[in-house]
Amino acid sequence: MICEITGYERKGLVRIKNQEEERRIWHSSNIVNLCLDSWSEKVQSGNLYHIYTREPVTFSSLFEALNRMEELYDAISFPQASSKLRSFQVDRRIRPYDSEEEIRVSKPAGNEIREAESFDKVIEHRGTQATFLIRVMYRQHASWQGEVTWVERQKKEYFRSALELIRLLDSTFKIDGKKDAE
């Protein structure tokens, strides 16, 4: 089925009642395609796809996947984080008395910036176990808020934190009985 607004073929995505909202979802730069190839209580692996990454981002744990997504959102500054993450690691390059304006952030040179990958190419990838389109709309209260669409079942749920997102992802394997044997 072809979307009347965008002209793109719907590839297993849920239908949205409001067509203007559908347009934003289909072409939003904060959508990540999470393709899970393996899922067990100890190991979760697969690939992440995004319009600003030409090659798949491979991960070997869900924690690594979420970290890669966080790095991506920081790099494109969207959605903007409302707070800085704290760490036990001290960045020795930044002196504690430096002001925000004095801190030098390395920006990519003009020739390092790439054209965006076609959104259709990003969402056409599938994981062997499951595929999720994750749209983080806000990064508030040191967590994420957004929506996740389970592509195979065409179900969409909203999450209020990264922990809730993890629980939603985990629940799909309990529903399908796909939990890998330990």
Q: For residue 95, is it within any domain?
A: no
Question: Where does the pLDDT of residue 176 fall: very low under 50, low under 70, confident under 90, or very high at 90 and above?
Answer: low
The candidate with the shortest Cα–Cα distance to 58, out of 125, 149, 148, 109, is 125
Q: For residue 143, is it within any domain?
A: yes
Domain count, the chain: 1
pLDDT tens digit sequence for 15-69? 444 554 544 445 688 899 999 999 998 899 999 999 988 899 999 999 999 999 9
| Phi-psi sector, 3: left (phi>0), alpha (psi -120 to 50), beta | beta
Give dist(CA 8, CA 151) in Å, integer: 16
Q: For residue 136, is it within any domain?
A: yes
- Spatial strand order in the sheet of 53-59: 53-59, 44-50, 31-39, 130-138, 145-150, 155-159
Q: For residue 102, is it within any domain?
A: no
For the segment 139-161, the average pLDDT, to the nearest whole number, is 95
Asked whether the beta carbons of 39 and 173 are under 8 A apart, the reply is yes
Q: For residue 119, is it within any domain?
A: yes
- pLDDT for 114 equals 55
Give dist(CA 86, CA 95) in Å, integer: 15
Give the range of the structural domain holding residue 169, as residue numbers without chain letter: 19-82+115-176
What mean pLDDT, rounded, does the chain reach? 78
- pLDDT for 138 equals 96
**SS3 at position 37:** strand
